[in-house]
């Protein structure tokens, strides 16, 4: 069963960031970068349990519907003799959706919203906004198809899949699945869509193009930036910086092909909108990376291999509008680091060994690797001073520590995770960090994925590594 995970910064942490920047920045002056205390506020949480159960829910709901596998496939339940004149067949819906898809391809706005406007002007308005938004997105492919149909008589429910590929961002076509409720109100009359929502367990809905009227879209070589009105100015003023952040992460990667080619980033300062985007379920986050599924071989059915070829990033810009660019850069580099290597992550089952310290440690290290340990601030103080307040760890951070709802516990977990990666880079090499993380990602469901990476990549044991890490922390931080 797929286990899509999201990685996010917590809002409570972000508030700590703001305070720390103000204190650290003023106290340290120009001698130190003020952005580096950001880790104090970072509690980047992957919500395995919630999304996992949601995925199972999605599977269950799919089981109750009838997959459309080819022309002529017809669900048993959507027609009956007594309602033959108004009943809706699967072929009816397929034809309706095909017309919708053709309208998008031919840039025919009126045809795109046809069927949404009879008695539901709100839906028609929304579909028109969707059409206008999609026209702004660089899309290599974009089409609609029917995955499942269920219902009876004059009302049917269809899972409609938007197969699309954002140019420069998605290495392969990906999916966003909608649930359409379709009715036929008169004998032999046209079909009418009376409700649209995300399909059960759909993680890519609502996308910004669904949620925002008048979406701002800025396209750079390695990043497609989307923003609502609350962050349109931020998007424009930070577009070049985001492109630089993307190139920064991508240029560092030495682990071979298979990374995300680029990134889709949505910006908003509207808290409710941020929390609702991509159905993310981490209300406390201020930045999130959501993995999304590939289109299946048929173009209709979701790929359930457990590997997610692409991601979507969303950031609540509220915390970053008044900060120096470097502060925002760290956030974006961190999230892009997750998205960059997300395609390698085996999410086909629960993680086999605690390794959130690898996931978050890599994103932390990658986003701040250009700074020396001596230059970094943490929670407004030097790393040395911060470490002096806490014990030298005797073990690597556990998932529960990194996940902790207690911001202090989580913050310390992120600190140790970051330092462990910094230790690998110092003792071995930055390339070994990439190899180590890649190994863990590819074997994430294995019960000894970290132990095996220690052995196969670093030629050591987890015990020996931890001892060396402790020694390095004492002498180098």
Which chain residues interact with Zn ion by CB under 5 A?
7, 44, 360, 363
Quote the CA–CA distance of 85 and 270 in Å, as a whole number: 47
Q: Which residue is nearest to Zn ion (CB)?
A: 44
CB 231 within 8 A of CB 268: yes
CB of 361 to Zn ion, least distance (A): 9
CB of 414 to Zn ion, least distance (A): 8
CB of 345 to Zn ion, least distance (A): 13
Nearer to Zn ion, 329 or 360 (CB): 360
CB of 362 to Zn ion, least distance (A): 9
Strand partners, 272: none
- Whether the ω angle into residue 206 lies within 30 degrees of 0, i.e. cis, is yes
DSSP structure string for 162-222:
EEEEETTT-SS-EEEEEEEEEEE-STTPPEEEEEEEEPTT-SS-S-HHHH-TT-EEEE-SS
SS3 407: helix
Nearer to Zn ion, 302 or 434 (CB): 434
Nearer to Zn ion, 293 or 356 (CB): 356
CB 68 within 8 A of CB 112: no
Nearer to Zn ion, 192 or 275 (CB): 275
Nearer to Zn ion, 65 or 285 (CB): 285
Nearer to Zn ion, 78 or 363 (CB): 363
CB of 474 to Zn ion, least distance (A): 27
Nearer to Zn ion, 60 or 406 (CB): 406
Nearer to Zn ion, 7 or 201 (CB): 7
Nearer to Zn ion, 97 or 267 (CB): 267
Residue of 159, 69, 73, 145 lying closest to 105 (CA atoms): 145
CB of 363 to Zn ion, least distance (A): 4
Quote the CA–CA distance of 447 and 449 in Å, as a whole number: 6
Quote the CA–CA distance of 159 and 399 in Å, as a whole number: 35
CB of 315 to Zn ion, least distance (A): 12
CB of 417 to Zn ion, least distance (A): 10
DSSP structure string for 216-267:
EEEE-SSEEEEE-GGGHHHHHHHHHHHHHHHHHHHHH--S-S-S-SSEEEEE
Strands 263-268 and 285-292 turn out to be: unpaired
The pair of structure tokens assigned to 233 is 């100015």
DSSP structure string for 414-462:
HHHHHHHHHHHHHHT-HHHHHHHHHHHHHTTTSTTHHHHHHHHHHSS-H
Nearer to Zn ion, 44 or 156 (CB): 44
CB of 453 to Zn ion, least distance (A): 19
CB of 177 to Zn ion, least distance (A): 26
220 Cβ neighbours under 8 A, 6+ residues apart? 239, 240, 242, 243, 246
């Amino acid at each position: 069963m797929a286990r899509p995970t999201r990685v996010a910064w917590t809002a409570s942490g972000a508030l700590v960031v703001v305070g720390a920047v103000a204190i650290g920045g003023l106290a340290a002056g120009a001698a130190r970068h003020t952005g580096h205390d950001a880790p104090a506020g970072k509690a980047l949480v992957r919500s395995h349990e919630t999304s996992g159960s949601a995925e199972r829910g999605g599977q269950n709901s799919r089981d109750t519907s009838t997959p459309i596998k080819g022309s002529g496939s017809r669900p048993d339940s959507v027609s009956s003799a007594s309602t033959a004149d108004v009943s809706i067949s699967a072929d009816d819906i397929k034809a309706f959706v095909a017309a919708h898809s053709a309208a998008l391809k031919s840039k025919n706005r009126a045809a795109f919203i046809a069927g949404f406007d009879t008695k539901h002007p709100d839906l028609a308005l929304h579909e028109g906004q969707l059409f206008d938004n999609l026209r702004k997105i660089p899309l290599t492919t974009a089409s609609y198809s029917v995955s499942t149909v269920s219902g009876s008589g004059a009302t049917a429910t269809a899972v409609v899949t938007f197969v699309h590929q954002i140019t420069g961002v998605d290495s392969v076509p990906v999916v966003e699945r909608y649930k359409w409720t379709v009715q036929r109100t008169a004998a032999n009359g046209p079909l009418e869509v009376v409700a649209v929502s995300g399909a059960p367990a759909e993680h890519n809905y609502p996308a910004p193009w669904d949620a925002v009227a008048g979406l701002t879209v800025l396209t750079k070589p390695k990043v497609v930036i989307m923003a609502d009105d609350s962050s349109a100015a931020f998007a424009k003023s930070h577009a070049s910086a985001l492109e630089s952040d993307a190139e920064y992460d991508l240029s560092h990667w030495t682990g071979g092909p298979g990374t995300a080619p680029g990134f889709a980033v949505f910006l908003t300062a509207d808290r409710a909108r941020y929390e609702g985007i991509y159905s993310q379920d981490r209300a406390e986050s201020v930045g999130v990376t959501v993995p999304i599924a590939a289109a299946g071989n048929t173009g209709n059915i979701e790929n359930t291999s457990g590997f997610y070829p692409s991601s979507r990033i969303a950031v609540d810009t509220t915390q970053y509008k008044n900060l120096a660019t470097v502060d925002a850069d760290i956030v974006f580099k961190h999230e892009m680091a997750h998205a960059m290597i997300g395609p390698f992550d085996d999410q086909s089952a629960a993680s086999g060994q605690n390794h959130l310290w690898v996931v978050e440690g890599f994103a932390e290290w990658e986003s701040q690797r250009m700074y020396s340990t001596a230059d970094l601030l943490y929670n407004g103080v030097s790393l040395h001073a911060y470490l002096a307040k806490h014990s030298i760890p005797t073990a690597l951070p556990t998932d529960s520590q990194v996940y902790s709802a207690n911001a202090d516990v989580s913050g310390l977990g992120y600190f140790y995770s970051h330092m462990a990666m910094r230790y690998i880079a110092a003792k071995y090499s930055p390339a070994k960090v990439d190899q180590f993380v890649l190994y863990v990602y590819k074997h994430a469901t294995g019960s000894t994925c970290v132990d095996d990476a220690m052995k196969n990549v670093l030629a050591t044991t987890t015990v020996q590594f931890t001892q060396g890490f402790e020694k390095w922390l004492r002498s180098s931080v």
